[in-house]
Chain A
Amino acid sequence: MNKLTEDQIQELYKFTRAHFVYHFDLQTELVDHLANGIESLQAKNPHLSFQEALDKEFKKFGIFGFQDVIADRSKALSKKYWKIILRFYKEFFSLPKILLTLLLCVLLFIVLKETALGYQQYAITGVFLLFLIPATIKLVRYHRILKKKDRKWMLEEMLLANIGMINFIQIPIQLMNIRFEIENNYIILLLSIASITLLLLFYVMVFVIPPKAEELLEETYPEYKMMSTL
């Protein structure tokens, strides 16, 4: 059977890009699929040109082309991303790190307890900003790194770009507008625990996972390691 040439393979990569597949992992899989299809069509009908065979093969994906495949791939990988987050997040709720978590909760509780009524919202906003400023700097830096890369990996973007973080910036802004006058110790404690739990989640997303991105990508994509050594 006639095999496709290196140039034709590159042509197929271009084809997937033109059809909105921007990530190398998915491109590679689709390129191999299309190539197999084209080769077998040409084996049955040697007069069929590369382009004609490609059109025929692409039609099999239906009228939406690669859209379903892309959407479901991203759904599957966000599931994976959350599993990764959970893996590292859980550490803060088991020994020894749970001691740190508890300490942070108690500290915030004391701060809120000592703050004059009507000013507690500023204390919470302060705590969130203390985290958000370095986090934003980090995220901008990751964003730049991602932009420079030629090969995009879907999971890498999830690990480094954390689109959900943008919503997080609104929290202190919203909090500033509420006047907190909480005297009840239980409510203060609950508020401290909720804030710390949330902050730790984002700490994991911004500071714990991205430095491990390389390792996690190798675990997910066998081709990642292969491509970086080629």
Chain B
Amino acid sequence: MGNSKLYKGSLNTIILKLLEEQGKMYGYEITQKVKELTKGELNITEGALYPALHKLEAEGLLDVEVAKVDNRLRKYYKLTEQGEKETVNRLAELEEFIRSMQNLVNPDWSIN
């Protein structure tokens, strides 16, 4: 597993982005999807995922849906309208952050 501290601040944005792409997802599916996309580099811990989901739900960014699947109830999360708008903002913020980091790590010393 890579340095998970670096990812930690972006967990909410990662969740929002995934839900934007996939529509609705359940907790376990999110952990697996992230693992798959990052080729095992990022492993979202269960202890961090659910608190993040519950917080986003309380903020009104996510909505929940329940369905009965194989003998049990499954809770799906999806973006609310407000959540969709917020995803765009947060992704823009994250991209800005990545650009700033790149400038810091790899400064362009040339004189224009």
Residues of chain A whose beta carbon lies under 8 Å from any beta carbon of chain B? 3-6, 9, 28-33, 35-37, 60-62, 64, 68-69, 72-73, 75-77, 79-80, 221-223, 226
Residues of A within 8 A of B68 (CB): 226
Evaluate contact between B47 and A32: CB separation under 8 angstroms: no
Q: How large is the interface on B (under 10, 10 to 19, 20 to 34, 35 or more residues)?
A: 20 to 34
B:43-94 near A, CB below 8 Å: 45-48, 50-51, 54-55, 57-59, 64-66, 68-75
A104 to B26, CA, bound (A): 49
Using a CB–CB cutoff of 8 Å, the interface residues on chain B facing chain A are 26-29, 45-48, 50-51, 54-55, 57-59, 64-66, 68-75
Contact, CB under 8 Å: B55 / A28: no
Query: What is the bound-complex CA distance between A36 and B65, given in angstroms?
Result: 18
Q: Are B66 and A223 in contact (CB under 8 A)?
A: yes
Residues of the B chain whose Cβ atoms lie less than 8 Å from the Cβ of A30: 50
Docked CA distance A222–B24 (Å): 14
Is A33 within 8 A of B28, CB to CB? yes
Q: Shortest Cβ distance from B23 into chain A, in angstroms?
A: 16
Task: With A3-B70, A3-B71, A9-B71 as known contacts, state yes or no: A32 contacts B54, CB within 8 Å.
Answer: no
Question: Is B75 touching A29 in the complex (CB atoms < 8 A)?
Answer: yes
Q: Known interface pairs A4-B71, A9-B72, A223-B66. Does A73 touch B27 (Cβ–Cβ under 8 Å)?
A: no
Q: In the complex, are the beta carbons of A32 and B75 less than 8 A apart? A: yes
Given contacts A61-B47, A222-B65, contact A72 B54 (CB under 8 A): yes
Are B55 and A222 touching (Cβ within 8 A)?
no
Q: A32-B74, A64-B47, A226-B73 are in contact. Are A37 and B28 (CB under 8 A)?
A: yes
Nearest 8 Cβ contacts at the A-B interface: A72-B51, A36-B28, A76-B58, A223-B66, A76-B54, A222-B66, A69-B50, A3-B70
* B46 x A60 contact (CB < 8 A): yes
Task: Answer whether A223 and B73 are a contact pair too, CB < 8 Å, given A32-B28, A69-B47.
Answer: yes
User: Which A residue's beta carbon lies closest to that of B50?
Assistant: A69
